[in-house]
Amino acid sequence: MYLQLTLETTAYTREQLRFPDLPQIALAGRSNVGKSSLINSLAGQKNLARTSSTPGKTRSINFFQAAQKNFYLVDLPGYGYARCSKMEREKWSRLIQEYLQDNLHLAGVVLLLDSRIDPQSSDLDLAHYVESLQTGLLPVLTKADKCNQKQRQLALKRWQKLLERAYKPILFSARTRQGQPALLEAMQKLVQAHSPPVHPENLQQA
């Protein structure tokens, strides 16, 4: 099963952030974690989201509409890229925060974590921030094909323990598509569980 994804809007600044009236699932992760590869894999396409071996290239927030599923998949800029200037990094993390904060359409955040790499403080910072927003946090452990069974189980246990309030992490590989059905199902559940924002005009009769 694939998601039929169409890139609808790209935002580089706060002013360009629009909130289409549909639930949104945000994808977050450090640069090079495999976010573009995951989007391409979900869509069954090679070049929908740019993949590159040069980290830190995607600086925008990209809204992909999922046809028939009635939600947006929102690709957030990769964080924690050391080779950029401090100012640039702060600008991106501010844009991420402005997007996540008070976003009534947010149905959940999928946090991508490299299954081979030890937990980083930037990952934990973002995870705890998302938990503070009272929105669902779904950890996805990427590049699972690069680990052996023992390493995969270790990564799973470690993240489960660190992110107690999150959903159970999903092991994922864009190469083998391990975890893809589970991820699609979990995203669908987040969308279904999301209650749409109440518009002021609907409040009057309540």
Is 62 an interacting residue with respect to Mg ion (CB under 5 A)? no
What is the binding site for ligand GDP (CB under 6 A)?
Answer: 29, 31-37, 51-53, 55, 78, 142-143, 145-146, 173-175
Q: Please name the residues in contact with 195: beta carbons below 8 A apart, sequence gap of 6 or more.
A: none
Spatial CA neighbour of 129 closest among 104, 111, 114: 111
Spatial CA neighbour of 62 closest among 47, 77, 51, 52: 77
Nearest distance, CB of residue 16 and ligand GDP, angstroms? 20
Are 172 and 113 within 8 A, CB to CB? no
Give the integer Cα–Cα distance in Å for 121 and 14.
25
- Which CB atom, from 75 or from 194, has the smaller least distance to ligand GDP? 75
Give the integer Cα–Cα distance in Å for 3 and 164.
29
- Which CB atom, from 120 or from 160, has the smaller least distance to Mg ion? 120
Q: Which does 55 bind (CB under 5 to 8 A by kind): ligand GDP, Mg ion, none?
A: ligand GDP
- Which CB atom, from 130 or from 194, has the smaller least distance to ligand GDP? 130
Is 58 an interacting residue with respect to Mg ion (CB under 5 A)? yes
- Out of 24, 36, 41, 62, which residue is the one contacting Mg ion (CB under 5 A)? 36
> What angle (nearest 5°) sits at the alpha carbon of residue 23, between those of residues 143 and 70?
90
Q: Which does 174 bind (CB under 5 to 8 A by kind): ligand GDP, Mg ion, none?
A: ligand GDP
Return residues touching Mg ion (CB under 5 A).
Answer: 36, 58
